[in-house]
Structure 1
């Protein structure tokens, strides 16, 4: 149930949504669209490469420092979003609103189940996209062979899960509900937003992330629990980063 908001309050909520988006995922969406335009004007999407987790310095020690700094600063918008949520008046405690109060084992179990559903579908969408030439070749791990490579990839997977799910559902869905939007408008809108910042990988991942966003959105608005989605996202990325050969098994490019 939402209360009627005055014009000033609506402006504040929209400003907060725009500000957080511009500092994080919205910025990524703009760059992804430009990157896709760059790719398609160079040649077929199927011949392009999308490299994730790339080295930031040829010197391993400094590369590690840069990687850790990048992960840390990328999460700052999450802190901003959570801080803005704590300033809401007449709202339940933040842990209750986000569904992060207890139930750790159950949350992990649900997250693992969601991962199994999404993971199989992701491989299928990627394989189909590569076969049709509408998906770039995704190279998920490009850090080289160092003692810190695996820990950094795990941290990167955790960072992605926290960043995207907290900002999309913990913050975005909360704000849109306060603004009076219905469940399916929120689910579809946020699914398209999630897909937009994956466009640099091609049309296949865009469609795959729309499907992922619909499932995640339905789950969150039904269960009101954020942690299963964070766990699911973390496991999906961790498997993709640490077992990049899985993608090569379905790569028809």
Structure 2
């Protein structure tokens, strides 16, 4: 029977070989069901766009119409958001330990509303403003597609759905790529630096369908968010900041220079 051994300089334990294999399989499954799958599709979409025309002539639409009938379009939008969050629920289940709160473990709770709120607003400025500049530079250099934040028809529910879509993005990316993935990679045996680089690289990769500019920007965002999480152990400000950036982009896209 194999046993786990203490690891004072790591994540708490050095896992037995069998347990490491199980975690490798877990990482592949969760990523294959969520953002890892998105990264693979993103690479293929980028190659498809590049084979048709220069990247600058391509477009990337983030929120698309699913039906020309209002009720069914709303239904599809809600279903898309709900089922896209299933990997988040799966991660909560995988991280859960008896007698311990998984939300407190990754800092996704309301224990520090003021500090988390101020941190999120600070991040909104730090990542929001440079994103606009990076998008403009990418378009000028011809390495970024035209990004259309929303192509939804204008109904009473359009803005609420865009807000829900933005919150979904924040939860999915920060819980999976930061709160869960860093823990799993380090338990498997990767150094914290390698884990951060791997998480950030995957984050950049599933934005490649938008071009190389968004890849660079999201890779840098991943580095920053991972560093903040390692330093403070709180995923909540990351989720809020990410959601706010996307809410602004989705609802104010043309005014912010997108599309």
Task: Give the TM-score category using the shorter length.
Answer: over 0.9
Shift of 1:121: 1.0
Q: Counterpart of 2:230 in 1: which secondary structure?
A: helix
User: Normalising to structure 2: TM-score of the pair?
Assistant: 0.92
Deviation per residue, 1:142-201 (Å, 9 max, x gap): 111110000000000000000110101111011112223222212211111100000000
C-alpha separation between the residues in 1 aligned to 2:67 and 2:227? Answer: 41
* TM-score computed with the length of structure 1 as normaliser: 0.94
3-state DSSP class of the match of 1:3? Answer: strand
- Matching of residues 224-235 of structure 1 within 5 Å: 224-235=233-244
Deviation of 1:95 after TM superposition, in Å, equals 2.8
**Which residue matches 1:43?**
53
**Deviations 1:189-248 (Å, cap 9, x if unpaired)?**
111110000000000000011111111111011111000000010001000001011443
Q: Distance in 2 between matches of 1:154 and 1:161?
A: 11
Paired position in structure 2 for 1:96: 104
Q: Which runs of 5 or more residues in structure 2 are unaligned?
A: 1-9
* Matches for 1:92-241 after TM superposition, within 5 Å: 93-101=101-109, 102-241=111-250
Task: Provide the C-alpha distance between the structure 2 equivalents of 1:196 and 1:61, rounded to a whole number of angstroms.
Answer: 34
- Aligned residues between the structures: 248
- Per-residue Cα deviation, 1:80-114 (whole angstroms, up to 9, x for no partner): 11101115x8x964233201341122112101111
Moved more, 47-56 or 182-191: 182-191
Q: 2:132–2:257: 8 Å Cα contact kept in structure 1?
A: no
Q: Match for 2:27 among 11, 17, 34?
A: 17
Write the deviation string for residues 24-67 of structure 1: whole angstroms up to 9, x where unpaired: 10110010000000000001000000001100000011100100
Are residue 85 (structure 1) and residue 74 (structure 2) matched? Answer: no
C-alpha RMSD of matched pairs (Å): 1.5
